[in-house]
Amino acid sequence: MRLATLKVGGQETAAVITAKGAVLVSTVNEVKGTDYATDMMSLIKKGQIPVMNEWYRAGGKAELEEMKTIPAAEMVYGPLYRNPARIFGIGLNYADHAGDIGSAAPKGFPGSFFKQADTLIGPGDDIHLPRLKEAQKTTAEAELGIILGQDCRDVSEEDWEKVVVGYTTILDMTEESILKGNDYLDGNPRYLTIVKNFPTFFSFGPQLVTPDEMPKDLMSVEVQSVRNGEVYAKNTISNMTHKPSRLVSLHSSIQGWIAGDVLSTGTPRAFEIKEGDLAECRICGPDGFEMAPLTNPVLDLKKHPEIKA
In the prediction, which pLDDT does 39 show?
98
In the prediction, which pLDDT does 275 show?
98
Task: Reply yes or no on whether the pLDDT at 182 is more than 60.
Answer: no
β-partners of residue 40 are: none
Under a CB-based contact definition with an 8 Å cutoff, are residues 5 and 79 in contact?
A: yes
Identify the band that residue 183 occupies on the pLDDT scale cut at 50, 70 and 90: very low
Identify the band that residue 187 occupies on the pLDDT scale cut at 50, 70 and 90: very low
In the prediction, which pLDDT does 230 show?
98
In the prediction, which pLDDT does 185 show?
42
In the prediction, which pLDDT does 14 show?
98
Task: Reply yes or no on whether the pLDDT at 188 is more than 70.
Answer: no
Q: Minimum mean pLDDT among 2-11, 58-67, 76-85, 175-184: which range?
A: 175-184
Per-position DSSP letters for 104-130, written without gaps between them: PPP-SS-EEEEE-GGGEE-TTPPEEEP
Mean pLDDT value across residues 288-295: 98
Q: Minimum mean pLDDT among 74-78, 80-84, 176-180, 224-228: which range?
A: 176-180
Mean pLDDT value across residues 79-107: 76
Map residue 18 onto helix, strand or coil: coil
Task: Reply yes or no on whether the pLDDT at 101 is more than 80.
Answer: no
Task: Reply yes or no on whether the pLDDT at 285 is more than 70.
Answer: yes
In the prediction, which pLDDT does 96 show?
64
User: Which stretches of the chain are assigned E, i.e. beta strand?
Assistant: 2-8, 11-17, 21-24, 70-71, 87-91, 111-115, 120-121, 127-129, 138-148, 164-175, 202-204, 207-209, 222-227, 230-236, 262-264, 271-273, 278-284, 294-300
Rounded Cα distance, 131 and 107, in Å: 35
Task: Reply yes or no on whether the pLDDT at 60 is more than 70.
Answer: yes
Q: How many CA atoms lie within 13 A of 171 on its CB side?
A: 34
Q: What angle do CA 20, 146, 246 make, to 5 degrees?
A: 145
Mean pLDDT value across residues 5-31: 97
Identify the band that residue 191 occupies on the pLDDT scale cut at 50, 70 and 90: low
Q: Minimum mean pLDDT among 10-24, 76-90, 170-184, 264-278: which range?
A: 170-184
Mean pLDDT value across residues 154-164: 98
Task: Reply yes or no on whether the pLDDT at 186 is more than 70.
Answer: no
Identify the band that residue 110 occupies on the pLDDT scale cut at 50, 70 and 90: confident
Mean pLDDT value across residues 166-193: 75
